[in-house]
Chains A and B, each alone.
Chain A
């Protein structure tokens, strides 16, 4: 994969111990994405207006977009779980688009970033389920019919453990595939053709993957929050 990664970055690669040059760049751009998210949100919140400006409009649009899904999927107690989902959504969408700028590296193009996100979400929603329902939360592992429990239990445990894995690999593979395709276009014709890959990635992959990641987070959370109901 390293042969497609450009080394012409806008940030100098710091000599971080134990990391290669590209990994150090990914760490730096992770910080850059975090700084962008925090700076934009702080600017908007400090300057809240009744008639919103451009930046406030964008942030409100994204917030309402996620809020609509949260109401539908997580149910009446959605406010409590909103910050985690929104944080994941904003960070992922910013870092996906960051990767499209020339001279930048997408933090989500690294399996470490996406795996960290997926593991945080995995432990969080299981923790929420245990806190809300106690040990009854684990009842859904044995399936609807007690007699079938020996067959259902391994299947349910495997499908539960596959969730963080598929969350992480889906996002990582989408971003990496996008960058490899842009790299291939660039290798074919230097001018113009890479734009096709970049347009596809910016209009389809980048935001769909952010939406899908946060939608799945909400669905898992909803499953944990509403574990005592039929769903």
Chain B
């Protein structure tokens, strides 16, 4: 392998690692904000109507999984970059 090829290889690895970190970091912003809003609304709803807790919590868990999934997609992309 020539010196140039080695440098290119190292650069690809470096940028892939950088991209992996950015992917998971930026990807987590959205679901963090979303889960925060949903959680505050859940507490609000339970405080207003304590008897609705079970039903509200079920749909919260469902929405939680949807929001969390966005970060997990980012995580998969980060892993693909990292173990390139």
Partner of B65, one of A2, A69, A208: A208
Partner of A209, one of B58, B65, B73, B75: B65
Fill in one digit per residue for B41-84: 1 if any A CB lies within 8 Å of its CB, else 0: 00000000000000000100110110011001101100100010
Taking a contact as CB atoms under 8 Å apart, the answer to whether A173 and B65 are in contact is no
Taking a contact as CB atoms under 8 Å apart, the answer to whether A3 and B76 are in contact is no
Instruction: Report the nearest B residue to A212, measured CB to CB.
Output: B65
Fill in one digit per residue for A202-225: 1 if any B CB lies within 8 Å of its CB, else 0: 000000110110011000000000
Asked whether A132 is an interface residue with its Cβ less than 8 Å from the other chain, the reply is no
Asked whether A42 is an interface residue with its Cβ less than 8 Å from the other chain, the reply is no
Q: How many Å lie between the Cα of A170 and that of B70 in the bound state?
A: 9
CB within 8 Å of B: which of A119-171?
A: 166, 169-170
Q: How many Å lie between the Cα of A220 and that of B13 in the bound state?
A: 42
> Per DSSP, are chain B's interface residues mostly helix, strand or loop, or mixed?
helix
Expressed in whole angstroms, the minimum distance between the Cβ of A221 and any Cβ of chain B is 15
Taking a contact as CB atoms under 8 Å apart, the answer to whether B65 and A169 are in contact is no
Find chain A residues with CB under 8 A from B68 CB.
174
Asked whether A180 is an interface residue with its Cβ less than 8 Å from the other chain, the reply is yes
Q: Known: A177-B75, A211-B61, A215-B62. Is A166-B69 also a contact (CB below 8 A)?
A: yes
Instruction: Report the nearest B residue to A216, measured CB to CB.
Output: B62
Q: Which range holds the interface residue count of chain A?
A: 10 to 19
Taking a contact as CB atoms under 8 Å apart, the answer to whether B62 and A212 are in contact is yes
Expressed in whole angstroms, the minimum distance between the Cβ of A101 and any Cβ of chain B is 23
Taking a contact as CB atoms under 8 Å apart, the answer to whether A169 and B73 are in contact is yes
Taking a contact as CB atoms under 8 Å apart, the answer to whether B76 and A169 are in contact is yes
Expressed in whole angstroms, the minimum distance between the Cβ of B81 and any Cβ of chain A is 12
A and B contact pairs by CB, cutoff 8 A, 27 listed: A1-B79, A1-B83, A2-B83, A69-B58, A166-B69, A169-B69, A169-B72, A169-B73, A169-B76, A170-B69, A170-B72, A173-B69, A173-B72, A173-B73, A173-B75, A173-B76, A174-B69, A177-B72, A180-B79, A208-B61, A208-B65, A211-B61, A212-B62, A212-B65, A215-B58, A215-B62, A216-B62
Seen from chain A, the residues whose Cβ lies within 8 Å of a Cβ on chain B are 1-3, 69, 166, 169-170, 173-174, 176-177, 180, 208-209, 211-212, 215-216
Seen from chain B, the residues whose Cβ lies within 8 Å of a Cβ on chain A are 58, 61-62, 64-65, 68-69, 72-73, 75-76, 79, 83
Give 19 new A-B contacts, CB below 8 A, not counting A174-B69, A174-B72, A177-B75: A69-B58, A169-B69, A169-B72, A169-B73, A169-B76, A170-B65, A170-B72, A173-B69, A173-B72, A173-B76, A174-B68, A176-B76, A176-B79, A180-B79, A208-B61, A208-B65, A212-B62, A215-B58, A215-B62
